Structure 1
Amino acid sequence: MRFRDFHKNIKIRIIETFMSRFIGSMIFPFMSIYLAVHFGAKVAGLLLLINVFVGIGINFLGGYFADQFGRKKIMLFAEVLRFLAFLTMMVCNSPWYESASITFAMMTINSICWGLAGPANQAMMIDVSTPPQRKLMYSITYWANNLSIAIGGIIGAFLFSDYLFELFFALSVASAITASLVAFFIDESYAPVKTDMTPTQHITQLISNYGKVLHDKLFVLFTIAGVLILSMEFQLTNYIGIRLSKEMPSQPFLFWDIDGVQAMGILRSENTILVVILMLFVTRIHHSLKDRTVLVWSCFFFSVGYAALAYSNNLFILFLMMAILTIGEVFRVPVEQSYMAAIPPDDARSSYMAFNGLKFNLSMLIASITVTLGAILPSSMMAGIILAVGLIGTFILKIITPELDRRKEGAELRQHNEAVKVG
Structure 2
Amino acid sequence: MGQFRNYHRNIKIRIGQIFLSDMVAGAIFPFIAIYFATYFGSAITGLLLLINVVIGLIVGLYGGYYADIMGRKKLMVIAGLIRMVAFIVMAVANSPLLTSPGLTFVMAVLITASFGLDGPAADAMIIDITKPSERKGVYALIYWSFNLAFAVGGIIGALTFNHYLFELLVIMVITSIAANILVIFFITETMEKKAKPIETNVLKSMFTSYKDVAGDKLFLLFVFAGLLLQSMENQMENYIAIRLNNEMPLQTILGFPFSGVEMVGFLKSENTILVVFLTVFVTRWVAKQKEGPIFLWSIGIFTLGYVGISYFNNIWLLFAFMVLATIGELMRVPIQSDFLASIPTDDKRSSYMAVYGLVFNGSMMISSFFVTLGGIFSSEIMSTLILFCGFISFIVMKHIMGDLKNRRDAQLNED
User: Which bracket does the TM-score occupy, shorter chain normalised?
Assistant: 0.7 to 0.9
Which of structures 1 and 2 has the larger relative contact order (alpha carbons within 8 angstroms, sep 6+)? 2
> Deviation of residue 329 (structure 1)?
0.8
CA contact (8 A) 2:72 2:189 kept: yes
The CA distance in 2 between the partners of 1:308 and 1:36, in whole Å, is: 23
Secondary structure of 2:226's aligned partner = helix
CA contact (8 A) 2:155 2:269 kept: no
> Deviation of residue 339 (structure 1)?
1.0
CA contact (8 A) 1:296 1:394 kept: yes
**Structural mapping, 1:353-392, within 5 Å:** 353-367=353-367, 372=373, 375-376=376-377, 379=380, 383-392=383-392
Stretch deviating more after TM superposition (109-118 or 307-316): 307-316
The CA distance in 2 between the partners of 1:263 and 1:254, in whole Å, is: 15
Match of residue 125 from structure 1: 126
The CA distance in 2 between the partners of 1:153 and 1:5, in whole Å, is: 31
Label 1:249 to 1:339 Cα distance change in 2 as closer, same or farther (>3 A): same
The CA distance in 1 between the partners of 2:199 and 2:112, in whole Å, is: 27
Match of residue 156 from structure 1: 157
1:304-359: per-residue Cα shift (whole Å, max 9, x none)?
Answer: 33344556677766544432332111111122112111111111111111111122
Label 1:119 to 1:40 Cα distance change in 2 as closer, same or farther (>3 A): same
> Deviation of residue 153 (structure 1)?
2.9
Structure 2, unpaired ranges of 5+: none
Secondary structure of 1:190's aligned partner = coil
> Deviation of residue 161 (structure 1)?
6.2
CA contact (8 A) 1:374 1:382 kept: no
Quick one: which amino acid aligns to residue 217 of structure 2?
Answer: K
Secondary structure of 1:207's aligned partner = helix
Q: TM-score, normalised by structure 1?
A: 0.81
Match of residue 341 from structure 1: 341
Whether 1:59 and 2:60 are equivalent positions in the alignment is yes
Secondary structure of 2:289's aligned partner = coil
The CA distance in 2 between the partners of 1:326 and 1:88, in whole Å, is: 35
The CA distance in 1 between the partners of 2:162 and 2:262, in whole Å, is: 22
Secondary structure of 1:199's aligned partner = coil
Quick one: which amino acid aligns to residue 344 of structure 2?
Answer: P
> Deviation of residue 18 (structure 1)?
0.7
The CA distance in 1 between the partners of 2:97 and 2:383, in whole Å, is: 52
Stretch deviating more after TM superposition (92-101 or 112-121): 92-101
Whether 1:403 and 2:382 are equivalent positions in the alignment is no
Label 1:27 to 1:368 Cα distance change in 2 as closer, same or farther (>3 A): closer
When the two chains are superposed, the root-mean-square deviation of aligned CA atoms in Å is 3.8
> Deviation of residue 214 (structure 1)?
1.3
Label 1:101 to 1:229 Cα distance change in 2 as closer, same or farther (>3 A): closer
1:223-258: per-residue Cα shift (whole Å, max 9, x none)?
Answer: 111122222223456566677788888999777898
CA contact (8 A) 1:63 1:352 kept: yes
> Deviation of residue 130 (structure 1)?
2.0
Match of residue 12 from structure 2: 11
The CA distance in 1 between the partners of 2:211 and 2:83, in whole Å, is: 30
**Structural mapping, 1:8-407, within 5 Å:** 8-30=9-31, 40-41=40-41, 48-89=49-90, 104-160=105-161, 166-196=167-197, 198-200=199-201, 202-236=202-236, 267-285=267-285, 287-309=287-309, 319-367=319-367, 372=373, 375-376=376-377, 379=380, 383-407=383-407
CA contact (8 A) 1:67 1:192 kept: no
Label 1:198 to 1:314 Cα distance change in 2 as closer, same or farther (>3 A): closer
Label 1:56 to 1:366 Cα distance change in 2 as closer, same or farther (>3 A): closer
The CA distance in 2 between the partners of 1:313 and 1:164, in whole Å, is: 26
Query: How many pairs were matched up?
Result: 412
The CA distance in 1 between the partners of 2:155 and 2:334, in whole Å, is: 26
Label 1:102 to 1:213 Cα distance change in 2 as closer, same or farther (>3 A): same
CA contact (8 A) 1:192 1:347 kept: no
Same amino acid, percent of matched pairs: 43
Quick one: which amino acid aligns to residue 404 of structure 2?
Answer: L
Quick one: which amino acid aligns to residue 21 of structure 1?
Answer: D
> Deviation of residue 392 (structure 1)?
2.2
Label 1:29 to 1:384 Cα distance change in 2 as closer, same or farther (>3 A): closer
CA contact (8 A) 2:154 2:269 kept: no
The CA distance in 2 between the partners of 1:316 and 1:122, in whole Å, is: 37
Stretch deviating more after TM superposition (5-14 or 21-30): 21-30
Label 1:255 to 1:336 Cα distance change in 2 as closer, same or farther (>3 A): same
CA contact (8 A) 1:136 1:283 kept: no
Stretch deviating more after TM superposition (305-314 or 114-123): 305-314
CA contact (8 A) 1:231 1:363 kept: yes
CA contact (8 A) 2:158 2:266 kept: no
1:189-214: per-residue Cα shift (whole Å, max 9, x none)?
Answer: 113455445421x3211011111111
1:69-113: per-residue Cα shift (whole Å, max 9, x none)?
Answer: 111121122223433444455566666788776655544433332
Quick one: which amino acid aligns to residue 22 of structure 1?
Answer: M
CA contact (8 A) 1:294 1:331 kept: yes
> Deviation of residue 56 (structure 1)?
1.5
Structure 1, unpaired ranges of 5+: 417-423
Quick check: which has more Rg, 1 or 2? Answer: 1
CA contact (8 A) 2:23 2:153 kept: yes
CA contact (8 A) 2:158 2:261 kept: no
Label 1:283 to 1:2 Cα distance change in 2 as closer, same or farther (>3 A): farther
The CA distance in 2 between the partners of 1:14 and 1:269, in whole Å, is: 19
Label 1:20 to 1:384 Cα distance change in 2 as closer, same or farther (>3 A): closer
1:364-403: per-residue Cα shift (whole Å, max 9, x none)?
Answer: 4444555627955682x65555334312211211221221
> Deviation of residue 298 (structure 1)?
0.9
